[in-house]
């Protein structure tokens, strides 16, 4: 097939379609190698960049890019310079990006600056936008476009997401002004962000945007983009970074629209942001440093937030391995913050279903521990835990074993556990698990010791407390009431 298509191209037979078919065929590795072998330096394809049919020129340029024909970079650049059809120009640039654009960077930068200043007609806007995007791709490959966050000591309005409960736990750790709470987290004005990023109990650090004109889910995407550009979005980015724009971002809309509708809405709003900012803001869904997030509130009102991925977040640097059942570290930190009054400094700690070690790390980060043991039946989890815990700088004994077969010479002061969810187990099987768990834990806990249990099967916990009078419930926290997740602090009898 490849041979025939190349023969067609060389003989000038059905060239446009043959180029297109060959481009599709070489997506398979074997066909790619065959085409490279038969076409050599691909000059025969490059010669078609002078064809009178713009669609032939377009297909030829695209094929040269997919072949990564570096020998034809000069041909691509000069064809781009003289191309009069706007719909073809971006294709040359995309192909050039896959070959070698480095010799042409100064000229391409001049073209980019000129195109920024150009006021396209309505029918030209789509093609000019595509050309600008292709130029940006090349320039980003050759230039360092990353930004350095410099807003550490500036007065900033922030929002820390924490979930629907215990926002005050995070708020009390803030040394800021105008601290307030809502169902999603904590809002505050701070002037030392270095202290903020050390707090372990929030999930995300966002910056609320001051949107002057109200926008809703009924607003047109162009209106939303205009409202965002008239907010403090660009000023905030410039205030907090050493380097100037362009700032590469993605825009996300969280509302009741379906996925396809939200994606289209975000794309159109982002395009307006690019246009009205003079491309100081550039939409880049795959390679971005900033996230603009729109959240729908009451009556569909859209609230804007900015997330800066340029801010180094080192709280959970240790967590390089996760499994599907892994707890989020900010949640584990919250559980340990709530449990702190009941934990023992230098106490010996056991996690009987430790997973990748997140609960153990956050326990030790909150209060220094003595001997630390983690047990899990899954070898993948234990392997991940060993590396995570090592990175966290914590000494722990990690054992691949079923907790119900675990033996140890001395007792533990604390048993902490993010208990496994029921999954495919029947109610009877889960009931038996909790029965065995309490029985086994009794063997390993000192008198007066503490169990810190997090699960969404609180009824089973309560049943075992009734059946085991040697344990009593000290404190209970409803962490996620909607989903039934509860933190139970349980003490063993003295």
For 276-320, what is each residue's pLDDT tens digit?
Answer: 999 999 999 888 999 999 999 888 899 999 999 999 999 999 999
pLDDT band at 494 (very low <50, low <70, confident <90, very high): low
- The CATH 3.30.2130.30 domain(s) of the chain lie at 144-313
| Residue scoring higher pLDDT (493 or 98) | 98
Residues 330, 51: Cα–Cα separation, whole Å: 60
Averaged over 210-228, what is the pLDDT? 94
Convert 413-427 to b/e letters by CB count within 10 Å (16 or more is b): bbbbbbbbeeeeeee
Convert 49-59 to b/e letters by CB count within 10 Å (16 or more is b): bebeeebbbbb
Whether residue 142 is predicted with pLDDT greater than 80 in this model: the reply is no
* Parallel/antiparallel/unpaired status of strands 204-208 and 302-308: antiparallel
Q: Which two tokens stand for residue 450?
A: 């503490």
State CA 3 to chain mean position distance: 44
State CA 337 to chain mean position distance: 25
* Residue 148 vs residues 277, 280, 289, 373, 421: alpha-carbon distances, Å: 21, 16, 10, 40, 42
Contact 305, 159 (CB under 8 A): yes
* Parallel/antiparallel/unpaired status of strands 349-351 and 412-418: parallel
Q: Is 106 exposed, middle or buried (0-12, 13-18, 19+ CB in 10 A)?
A: exposed
Per mean pLDDT, which range of 130-144, 210-224, 335-349, 443-457 is the poorest?
Answer: 130-144
* Residue 14 vs residues 10, 44, 169: alpha-carbon distances, Å: 10, 15, 70
pLDDT at 256: 86
Q: Which residues 6+ apart lie within 8 Å of 391 measured at CB?
A: 317, 318, 320
- The CATH 3.40.50.150 domain(s) of the chain lie at 329-492
Averaged over 361-381, what is the pLDDT? 96
* Parallel/antiparallel/unpaired status of strands 281-283 and 485-492: unpaired
What tens digit of pLDDT does each residue of 77-123 get?
999 999 999 999 999 999 999 998 999 999 999 999 899 888 888 89
Was domain 329-492 assigned CATH 3.40.50.170?
Answer: no
Helices vs strands, H then E, count in the chain: 19, 15
Q: Which two tokens stand for residue 109?
A: 């930068």
* Residue 237 vs residues 18, 146, 195, 307: alpha-carbon distances, Å: 48, 13, 20, 10
pLDDT at 80: 95
Q: Which two tokens stand for residue 122?
A: 């309505």
- Sheet harboring 177-182: ordered strands across? 177-182, 185-190, 156-161, 204-208, 302-308, 290-296, 247-254, 281-283
Contact 410, 350 (CB under 8 A): no
Averaged over 113-138, what is the pLDDT? 90
Residues 382, 378: Cα–Cα separation, whole Å: 7
Helix (H) or strand (E) holding 274: helix 259-276
Whether residue 73 is predicted with pLDDT greater than 90 in this model: the reply is yes
Fold of 144-313: VC0802-like (3.30.2130)
pLDDT at 79: 94
Averaged over 18-46, what is the pLDDT? 91
Contact 34, 1 (CB under 8 A): no
Residues 373, 398: Cα–Cα separation, whole Å: 6
pLDDT at 144: 75
Whether residue 455 is predicted with pLDDT greater than 90 in this model: the reply is yes
Whether residue 69 is predicted with pLDDT greater than 90 in this model: the reply is yes
């Amino acid at each position: 097939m490849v041979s025939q298509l190349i023969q067609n191209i060389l003989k000038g037979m059905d060239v446009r379609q043959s180029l297109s078919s060959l481009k599709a065929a070489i997506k398979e590795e074997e066909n790619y190698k065959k085409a490279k072998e038969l076409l050599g330096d691909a000059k025969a394809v490059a010669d078609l960049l002078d064809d009178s049919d713009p669609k032939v020129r377009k297909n030829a340029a695209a094929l040269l890019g997919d072949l990564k024909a570096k020998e034809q970079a000069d041909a691509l650049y000069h064809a781009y310079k003289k191309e009069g059809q706007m719909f073809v120009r971006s294709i040359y640039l995309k192909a050039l990006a896959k070959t070698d654009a480095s010799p042409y960077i100064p000229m391409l930068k001049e073209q980019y600056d000129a195109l920024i200043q150009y006021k396209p007609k309505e029918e030209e806007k789509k093609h000019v936008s595509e050309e600008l995007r292709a130029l940006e791709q090349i320039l980003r490959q050759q230039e360092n476009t990353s930004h350095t966050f410099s807003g550490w000591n500036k007065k900033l309005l922030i929002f820390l997401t924490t979930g629907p409960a215990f926002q005050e736990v995070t708020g009390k750790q803030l040394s800021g002004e105008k601290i307030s709470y809502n169902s999603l987290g904590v809002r505050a004005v701070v002037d030392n962000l270095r202290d903020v990023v050390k707090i372990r109990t929030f999930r995300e650090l966002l910056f609320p945007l001051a949107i002057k004109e109200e926008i809703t889910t009924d607003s047109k995407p162009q209106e939303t983009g205009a409202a965002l550009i008239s907010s403090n979005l660009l000023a905030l980015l410039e205030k907090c970074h050493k380097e100037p724009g362009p700032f590469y971002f993605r825009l996300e809309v969280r509302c009741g629209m379906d996925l396809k509708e939200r994606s289209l809405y975000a794309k159109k709003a982002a395009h307006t942001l690019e246009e009205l900012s003079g491309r100081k803001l550039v939409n880049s869904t795959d390679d971005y440093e900033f996230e603009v997030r729109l959240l729908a509130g009451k009556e569909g009102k859209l609230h804007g937030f900015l997330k800066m991925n340029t801010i180094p977040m080192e709280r959970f640097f240790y967590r390089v391995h996760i499994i599907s059942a892994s707890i989020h570290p900010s949640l584990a930190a919250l559980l340990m913050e709530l449990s702190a009054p009941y934990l023992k400094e230098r106490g010996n700690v056991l996690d009987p279903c430790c997973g990748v070690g997140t609960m153990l790390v956050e326990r030790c980060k909150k209060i220094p521990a003595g001997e630390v043991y983690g047990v899990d039946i899954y070898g993948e989890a234990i392997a991940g835990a060993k590396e995570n815990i090592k990175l966290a700088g914590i000494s722990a004994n990690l054992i691949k074993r079923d907790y119900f077969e675990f033996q140890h010479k001395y007792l533990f002061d604390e048993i902490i556990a993010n208990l496994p969810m029921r999954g495919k187990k029947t109610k009877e099987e889960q009931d038996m698990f909790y029965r065995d768990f309490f029985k086994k834990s009794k063997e390993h806990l000192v008198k007066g010791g503490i169990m810190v249990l997090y699960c969404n099967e609180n009824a089973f916990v309560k049943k075992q407390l009734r059946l085991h009078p040697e344990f009593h419930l000290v404190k209970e926290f409803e962490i996620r009431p909607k989903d039934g997740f509860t933190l139970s602090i349980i003490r063993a009898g003295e």
